[in-house]
Structure 1
Amino acid sequence: MLDRLKALRDRPWTVALLLAVIAEALFLIHLDQPSVIMFDEIHYLPAAQALLDLSGPRNVEHPMLGKELIAAGMALLGDNPFGWRIASTIAGTATVLGVFAFLWLLTGSMRASLVGGLLTLLNQTVYVQARTGMLDVFLGCFLVWALVMGLWSMKGSGKRVWWRWLAMGVLLGMTTAVKWAGVPYIVLAGLAFLVIRIRDARRARKPVLSALSGKDQPHWPGLPAIPALLAMGGVSVVTYFLTFLPAFFYTTDPLTSLSGLFAQQIHMWQMQTQILPHHTYQSSWWSWPLMLRPIWYFYEWDRGAQRGVLLIGNPLIMWGGLVAVLACYWAWFKDKAIKPLAIALLWTASLAIYVVIPKSIGFYYYYHPSSIFLCMALPLAFLHFDKGKNRGWEEWFVALSLLMFGYFYPILSGAALANSQGFVHWMWIGSWR
């Protein structure tokens, strides 16, 4: 059906605008539910207020950019639920658009791009994070747009390759400036660049060292490998450290030198790697794809009603997405399809990061980037195995995902529940309680 709509196929900017309006409107509806601080907002909202007041360091275990963005929302709309969460809604909308843009650049298919954007909107983790004053929604947003810029730079020419490539470096630096979980993606971007260049050299039957040259390259033409990697890394590092500028103007314990800035990074490392006590909602990385331990961000009496906000993925997308990842791997083994393989590897790497990160405990919200990549894998799998026959499988999948989202909506949005046991209806698995 979507590919029969000529007007949509030929107007990606119009479709993107409509998608943005729908996403932002959905995120804004009853944004003040709950009307009080929930879950880890208790860490980031005081830190954001401290940034507005320049009173002194708060929540120093994480970099500053995410808290600066929350602070910007509070400066705009005040110290209230809308101010706490407005920046998150914008980042959530940008994430939806980023998936749309990435799939459009990757496939040129309006069907796949729109399906990916809609699944991102409906995958539930993006919805909840986009309505919460926490950091992960910003990490996911900047990461997705870094991927967009990296892919766009592959297709450029002349100076456009360089500025798109450097824009990716800026966005990767911003990802890291939200959470250190962004660091591995800088490494992965560099490795992907080298692997693609080496593959191009082998396909052209050129010496492997020709991959280092910027001349006669099918991808990133005019971009010599070593200067490009150094520039990308350098821009990322500079972007990261620039976000610490407000810390030099604190009235209490300000940074006074570059050595103090570097010392703070050591302190952050110590806090990130410390052994933490058991937490009710902690979970292991292997359990996140299975969605065994979602998190109640809120479950209290608020504004005359029992309300709850559960961070839980859309089961159809989260579990169906795992099938899509396997299908993408199969597309490579069967047909040597490189695009599905790239998305499957991206999802796998995003999860594998937490196998090696030295964190003593984990939480389901760490899976946020991976949940977004599932929304890329699904349309890629549909597109590859549909073979251009437009059977409409993905449209039915989106429709069913919408129904599932509607089913869970009351405990995603903080809507009024019947009573204190009103949540039981949605508890399919005992560990969800």
Structure 2
Amino acid sequence: MRLFSRPLPAALAIGLVAQILFCWRLTTPHVLVFDEVHYVPAARMLRGLVGPVNIEHPLLGKTLIALGMTIFGDGPLGWRALSTVAASAVVTGVFAILWLIFGRVRTASIGAVLTLLNFTVFVQARIAMLDGFMAAFVVTGLAALLWAMRARGAAVWWRWLLGALLLGLAVGTKWTALPYLGLAGATYLIARWRRPDLWPGLHPLVALPLLGGVAMLAYFATFWPAFLYADQPLTFARLLPFQLDMYRQQTQVLPPHTYQSSWWTWPFDWRPVWYFYEPADGAQRGILMLGNPVVMWGGLVAVVAGIAAWVRDGDARTGGVALLWIASVAMWALIPKSLGFYYYYYLSSIWLAMAIAAAFDHWRVRLRYWDEAFLAASAVLFVHFHPILSAAALRGPGSFHGWMWLKSWV
């Protein structure tokens, strides 16, 4: 057990468990699920360098799906394999962030395990969509920037550059990662103003241009495959106008959708999305993009507690994690999307698990062992809901009613 009291073995153990869990029965169902109908064909076109398709998003996420198909074949395993790796990176990245902020293996482990047990990461791990890759780059990018915070010498620089590179790749997967570049820069300025010994030798006049410049170079580099298309290849003259084309696609007014929801309802787990519910592989199966109610609703209490810890006790670390969640939700009030869907809350659900771990860390003396009880409750619900998260065989078309706590979940 002493081995797992050290951060690296603990993080690797949790990451390995996550990877095994994400891969179990990964190829079920053997048909395209939800937005896989858009991204898998786009990945096929990209793999063959045929021509532009699915131009409303940058290329990197579809490139990674195409890479999975190249390694594992054009089938369910190839479509989804790298999504499992991305989700495991999210789990271990959460561990790294909490360890770097709080320096406690228990706190980091609580946050990582809650991330694993929060249904959203499990569901996104098993589908070929862009959000899982984007989240992995954001989480690991922020972890790298924090890793640079207390480094010395050249390590400060290359870790900072690594963080900038990963955040640039996140934007190259999906534009919704862009606000996190701004948040990272603002957090750096505030933290360094309070404690000039952080990121030693990395002056703001150097750090911020490096952050933005490297991220921008990484972003534009993700378009390289488009220059090799057989039909309508991208050119340097078209690179910037193409960004405007994507913006117009992103902001077009779309017709109403059955599963649309407003951003302010997402924290309440109000309107999840059925990614799949139909007969497949010889049985009725379903995949519901839903958050673990223990984590989602308990996390709201943790956010309030985190702000209280900052205001009352001056705990900027716990308050900062809570503010990260608040900012991640508030940005959707400004993003010009005509329709909203619950899976847009994916990154916020990750920060919510971190907010819970941070709150338990702050009140660890008063709430001793409550974190273990919270984990147990989360695990019980994970097991209970697992059949409609994993496309397990159900008894029949009406089986989903057994899991519908709210009418809005139907």
Calculate percent identity across the aligned residue pairs. 51
Amino acid at match of 2:136: C
In structure 2, the partner of 1:6 is: 2
SS at match of 1:386: coil
- Structure 2 residue 323 is the aligned partner of structure 1 residue 362: no
Query: 2:371 matched to 1:376?
Result: no
Task: Check if 1:124 corresponds to 2:119.
Answer: yes
Aligned residues: 410
When normalised by structure 1's length, the TM-score is: 0.93
Judging changes above 3 Å, is the alpha-carbon distance between structure 1 residues 390 and 356 closer, same or farther for their aligned structure 2 residues?
closer
Are positions 1:81 and 2:60 aligned together? no
Counterpart residue type for residue 176 of structure 1: V
Q: Which runs of 5+ in 1 are unaligned?
A: 201-216
Shift of 1:416: 0.7
Q: Which amino acid aligns with 1:220?
A: W
Query: SS state of the match for residue 351, structure 2?
Result: helix
* Structure 1: distance between partners of 2:237 and 2:189: 34
CA–CA separation in structure 2 for the residues paired with 1:223 and 1:383: 30
Counterpart code for 2:223: F
One-letter amino acid of the structure 1 residue matched with residue 360 of structure 2: F
- CA displacement 1:129-156 (0-9 Å, x = unmatched): 0000001111111111111111111111
Question: Which position in structure 1 is the counterpart of 2:11?
Answer: 16
Aligned partners of 2:360 and 2:367 also within 8 Å: no
> Following the alignment from structure 1 to structure 2, what is the Cα–Cα distance between the partners of residues 177 and 26?
28
One-letter identity of the residue aligned with 1:361: L
The one of 330, 354, 358 aligned to 1:352: 330
Q: Distance in 1 between matches of 2:317 and 2:191?
A: 12
The answer to whether 1:111 aligns with 2:89 is: no
Per-residue deviation, 1:15: 1.6
| 1:13-56 deviation line (CA, Å, top 9, x unaligned) | 22222112211110111111111001111110001111111111
**How far did residue 103 of structure 1 move?**
0.9
Deviations 1:404-429 (A, max 9, x none): 00000000000011110000001111
The separation in 2 between residues aligned to 1:133 and 1:340, in whole angstroms, is: 34
Residues in 1 aligned to 2:335 and 2:225: alpha-carbon distance in whole angstroms:
28
Q: How far apart are the structure 1 equivalents of 2:117 and 2:53?
A: 34
- CA positional deviation for 1:197: 2.4
Letter in 1 for 2:89: A
For residue 323 of structure 1, what is the amino acid of its counterpart? V
The one-character-per-residue Cα deviations of 1:379-398 (angstroms, maximum 9, x if unpaired) are 110111123x7721111111
Secondary structure in structure 2 of the residue aligned to 1:301: strand
How far did residue 159 of structure 1 move? 1.1
| Aligned equivalent of 2:50 | 55
Partner of 2:246: 268
* 1:415 aligned onto 2:377: no
Task: Name the SS of the counterpart of 1:253 in structure 2.
Answer: coil
- Paired AA for residue 3 in structure 2: A
Q: Which amino acid aligns with 1:321?
A: G
1:242 aligns with 2:242: no
For structure 2, list consecutive stretches of 5 or more residues without a partner in the other structure.
none
In 2: Cα distance, 1:94 partner to 1:193 partner = 23
Q: How does 1:59-70 map to 2 (within 5 A)?
A: 59-70=54-65
1:205 counterpart residue number: none
Q: What is the TM-score with the length of structure 2 in the denominator?
A: 0.98
Q: 1:390 to 1:328 in 2, by over 3 A?
A: closer
Task: Report the residue type matching 2:176 in the other structure.
Answer: A
Aligned to 2:203: 224
Which AA in structure 1 matches 2:288?
A: L
Query: Partner of 2:231: helix, strand, or coil?
Result: coil
Match of 2:194 in 1: 199
Find the residue that maps to 2:363 and give its secondary structure. Answer: helix
- Partners in 2 of 1:291 and 1:37 — Cα distance? 25
